[in-house]
Structure 1
Amino acid sequence: MAVSVSAVVILLVIVIMLMRFGYVRGGSAFVCILLGFFLASTGLAPAINQSAQALGHALGAIRL
């Protein structure tokens, strides 16, 4: 749960920054958000969630 909430916050910040700097317009951001909601209700959702968690664990294991 903590990984998904922090991932949502990070992705939201990225989308807001992209919109602010003009790389993504509001309509495109809305379509991307809708895609995320619809993708979450498909059979791919568990695989995407596992991949995101594995990436989070891998990034957490990196020592700088």
Structure 2
Amino acid sequence: MTITIPLVVLLGMAVFIGLRYLGLRLWQAAVSVVFGFLLAATALAPDIQHVLSGLLDLITDR
């Protein structure tokens, strides 16, 4: 996927905004990050990648 890095940056900015302005606590952000890493190591990772690719294709086709 060619947009992986920008997507990671976008999600990182969303977490930063959540920490800074929305009252997201640091431990909540850390748990979310760890959950993402663990989820990427499961058998569900290819399905999640496929869904994200489909959503991004849908958004960019417009």
Question: Taking structure 2 as the reference length, what is the TM-score of the superposition?
Answer: 0.92
1:24-39 matched pairs, under 5 angstroms: 24-39=24-39
SS at structure 2 position matched to 1:2: coil
Q: Which runs of 4+ in 1 moved over 6 A?
A: none
Unaligned residue ranges in structure 2 (runs of 5+): none
RMSD over equivalenced CA pairs, Å: 1.0
Quote the Cα distance in structure 1 between the aligned partners of 2:19 and 2:27: 10
Which has the higher relative contact order, 1 or 2, with Cα contacts under 8 A spaced 6 or more apart?
A: 1
Aligned length: 62
Question: Taking structure 1 as the reference length, what is the TM-score of the superposition?
Answer: 0.89
